[in-house]
């Protein structure tokens, strides 16, 4: 039971990755623009469902709103998953900006998966990553790199 959250995270991540990979190939054949993971960004209105769900969960702790708390937990975890994807997209953008090798990205994802499976650290990792994604609502992390003088065409 300790790895159920990790299993769900791996399943959702792989499903999303596979869908993006297959659609990217199809779009490339058609000559249409391809989605880049580093460009994934949630609009600011996604913050409101997260705040509302957090408020319902807190109210449930004090007043016992049983049926509403189940829905709030499910919607809240789904929105947190999306903000976690946004945080990973920020990291991917930084990796692309500084031309970090692709193997480092894979090692980072494997390392995060291993940390999530750890009972001592997993909860902290699963809280920090979506918080980083939420913080992009107020802090602009994705600033494009200016081309070097030798890179201009």
pLDDT above 60 (res 96): yes
* Host domain of residue 74: 4-13+42-135
65 is a domain residue: yes
Residue 101 lies in a domain: yes
The answer as to whether 125 is a domain residue is yes
Q: pTM (2 decimals)?
A: 0.76
Residues 6+ positions from 49 with CB-CB distance below 8 Å: 75, 76, 79
In a domain, 106, yes or no: yes
Does residue 114 fall inside a structural domain? yes
Residues 103-130 have pLDDT tens digits of 998 899 889 888 888 888 888 988 899 9
60 by Cβ neighbours in 10 Å (0-12 / 13-18 / 19+) ranks as middle
- What is the per-residue pLDDT across 127-147, written as a single tens digit (0 to 9) for each? 899 999 999 999 999 887 776
Helix locations, 31-65, DSSP H:
47-63
76: in domain: yes
Between 111 and 9, the more confident residue is 111
How many Å apart are CA 81 and CA 110, to the nearest integer? 17
Question: Quick one: 57 exposed, middle or buried, by C-beta within 10 A (0-12, 13-18, 19+)?
Answer: middle
Residues 141, 135: Cα–Cα separation, whole Å: 9
Number of Cβ within a 10 Å radius of residue 119:
8
Q: Helix %, strand %, coil % for the chain, to 5? A: 75, 0, 25
């Amino acid at each position: 039971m300790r790895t159920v959250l990790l299993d769900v995270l791996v399943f959702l991540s792989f499903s999303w990755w596979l869908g993006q990979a297959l659609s990217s190939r199809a779009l490339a054949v058609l000559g249409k623009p391809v989605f880049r993971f580093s460009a994934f960004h949630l609009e600011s209105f996604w913050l409101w469902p997260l705040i509302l769900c957090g408020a319902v969960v807190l109210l449930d702790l004090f007043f016992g709103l049983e049926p509403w708390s189940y829905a709030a937990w499910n919607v809240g975890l789904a929105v947190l998953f999306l903000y976690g994807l946004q945080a990973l997209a920020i990291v991917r953008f930084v990796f692309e900006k500084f031309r970090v090798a692709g193997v480092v990205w894979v090692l980072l994802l494997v390392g995060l998966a291993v940390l999530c499976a750890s009972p001592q650290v997993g909860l902290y990792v699963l809280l920090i990553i979506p918080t980083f994604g939420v913080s992009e609502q107020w802090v602009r992390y994705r600033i494009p790199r200016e081309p070097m003088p030798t890179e201009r065409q």
